[in-house]
Amino acid sequence: MDYSHLLLQYLITFGWALTGAVSMALSLSILLKVFTWITPIDEWKEIEKGNVCVAIILAAVIIGTALVIGLTLMS
């Protein structure tokens, strides 16, 4: 059997997965920097104090952006 075609497909899939992971990490880090820059409070200090409301808002922003980026990368 010729497994070279199968190995090539695995390598292509791994490459796309790596590309998606890197672009998702970069976009989310840029998003968090911009979000903390435009809001009047320091979200990380509020989360360290135990403010669950700020944590929920930040999680919603991250999940929403991750969905948009993930669906964009899939198309």
Distance between CA atoms of residues 39 and 42, nearest Å: 8
Distance between CA atoms of residues 13 and 35, nearest Å: 32
Global pTM reads 0.68
* Residue range of the domain that includes 42: 4-74
- What is the predicted pLDDT for the residue at 2? 75
Q: What is the pLDDT along the chain (75 residues), one digit of tens a residue?
A: 678 888 999 999 999 889 888 888 888 899 889 998 999 999 999 999 999 999 999 999 989 988 887 787 665
Domain count, the chain: 1
The helix/strand count (H/E) of the chain reads as 3, 0
**Which tokens belong to 55?**
């944590």
Distance between CA atoms of residues 41 and 49, nearest Å: 13
- Please give the helix or strand (H or E) that residue 23 lies within, else none: helix 4-38
- What is the predicted pLDDT for the residue at 49? 95
